[in-house]
Amino acid sequence: MSKILLETLKGNPGERVPFWFMRQAGRYLPEYREVRATTKSFMEFCYSPEKAAEVTMQPIRRYGMDGAILFADILVVPDGLGQNVWFEAGSGPKLTPVKTAGDVDRLSLNDFHDKVGAVYETVAKLKHMLPVETTLLGFAGAPWTLATYMIEGAGSKDHAAARQMGYRNPDLFNRILDMLVDATAQYLCRQIDAGADAVQIFDSWAAALPESVFDDWVIKPTKAIVDRVRAKHPDTPIIGFPRLAGLQHIRFVDETGVDAVSLDTGISLDWAAAELQSKVCVQGNIDPHLVVSGGQKMVGEANRILDALKHGPHVFNLGHGFVPETPPENVALLSDTIRNYRR
């Protein structure tokens, strides 16, 4: 049986629009909270192949998405490079910030695959657990988004520390980006070796960067990763997600060479159909907060998105991840709406 998500990502859409959702495994599901409660540290949870594989499967069992996204976190990569990463309840990720050349010197790829090896085990387990028609998605954070966490030492609103290092000390900043390109390309290749059918690169904080640095901080590092992954795995689709990048999506698609682009909630669909979907598969983009609210408004919006993107390859998804307050029954209604739609 063929995998309709994988085929659509390769530019061969069928009658039905495939779907999966960012953060489809997560706190909105009671069965996720139950497994999550068995491990105190979130990073340790990400490095527990059995539990990570189990929570990856949970939404597939409930809703039958066409894609299962590996359960892990983008901050596994800085952790694998030797940075301290931990999660504090209620305040999100924390890292020992990278500020100086000495801090960068302490990071390396030497123990990387040993440290993150449990993630490859999760992928290998999933390969055996998933229905044959379900596409297994690997993922990583893009270098720019990872750098914002690594330099700030936490999530931040305007990414001041990373932007200022990028302007003030480009040599140091580029050393960080180069190391992330190298680690991420290897990390994604290993996920594909272990069984991932496609991969997504999350650039969650690509918003509002000036054109001049969007090239150096977003496009070039992403292109370098795409080139390296494609050299080893020419048939594995790569999805880019330059969230909130506005008109710069056009250059992102033209210059990085991604096979598909994920659209945030604010993108105009007619524009995306004309400017992006004519070149690559598009993915998206219902507002996760509309899924909290649910009902006929959500169904109407899902149909608007499906209609607007029906003339080319489209993977239905959210414009950003599910929030914890999402009622599981709304996800069921959304899934049925997409599954029953015919192009």
- In the region spanning residues 119 to 148, those forming contacts with ligand CP3, defined by CB under 6 A, are 139
Using DSSP's 3-state secondary structure scheme, residue 215 falls into helix
Q: Which is nearer to ligand CP3, 74 or 98 (CB)?
A: 74
26 binds ligand CP3 (CB under 6 A): yes
- In the region spanning residues 69 to 88, those forming contacts with ligand CP3, defined by CB under 6 A, are 69, 71, 73-75
- Helix count (H) and strand count (E) of the chain? 17, 9
Asked whether 70 and 119 are in contact (CB, 8 A), the reply is: yes
Q: Which is nearer to ligand CP3, 40 or 168 (CB)?
A: 40
Size of the site for ligand CP3 (CB under 6 A): 20
Please give the backbone phi and psi of residue 296, each rounded to the nearest 5 degrees, phi first: -70, -25
Bridge-based pairing of strands 85-88 and 92-95 is antiparallel
27 is catalytic: yes
Tokens 């993922």 sit on residue: 139
Q: Residue 257 is encoded by which pair of tokens?
A: 């060479």
The H-or-E segment that residue 238 falls in is strand 238-242
73 is catalytic: yes
Report the alpha-carbon distance of residue 236 to residue 9 in Å, rounded. 9
220 binds ligand CP3 (CB under 6 A): no
Catalytic residue among 27, 228, 230, 343: 27
Among 10, 16, 27, 228, binds ligand CP3 (CB under 6 A): 27
Among 17, 22, 177, 239, binds ligand CP3 (CB under 6 A): 22
Q: Which is nearer to ligand CP3, 13 or 322 (CB)?
A: 322
Q: Which is nearer to ligand CP3, 126 or 229 (CB)?
A: 126
Q: Residue 320 is encoded by which pair of tokens?
A: 């950003």
19 binds ligand CP3 (CB under 6 A): no
Report the alpha-carbon distance of residue 240 to residue 278 in Å, rounded. 16
149 is catalytic: yes
Q: Residue 286 is encoded by which pair of tokens?
A: 């219902």
Measure the CA angle with vertex 255, ends 244 and 142; round to 5°: 50
Among 135, 186, 204, 248, binds ligand CP3 (CB under 6 A): 204
23 is catalytic: yes
24 binds ligand CP3 (CB under 6 A): yes
Asked whether 316 and 18 are in contact (CB, 8 A), the reply is: yes
Among 25, 136, 198, 226, binds ligand CP3 (CB under 6 A): 25
The CB-nearest residue to ligand CP3 is 204
- In the region spanning residues 31 to 60, those forming contacts with ligand CP3, defined by CB under 6 A, are 36, 42
Report the alpha-carbon distance of residue 335 to residue 298 in Å, rounded. 11
Please identify every residue annotated as catalytic. 23, 27, 36, 73, 149
Residues of the shown chain interacting with ligand CP3 in the complex, contacts defined by CB under 6 A: 22-27, 36, 42, 69, 71, 73-75, 92-93, 139, 155, 202, 204, 321
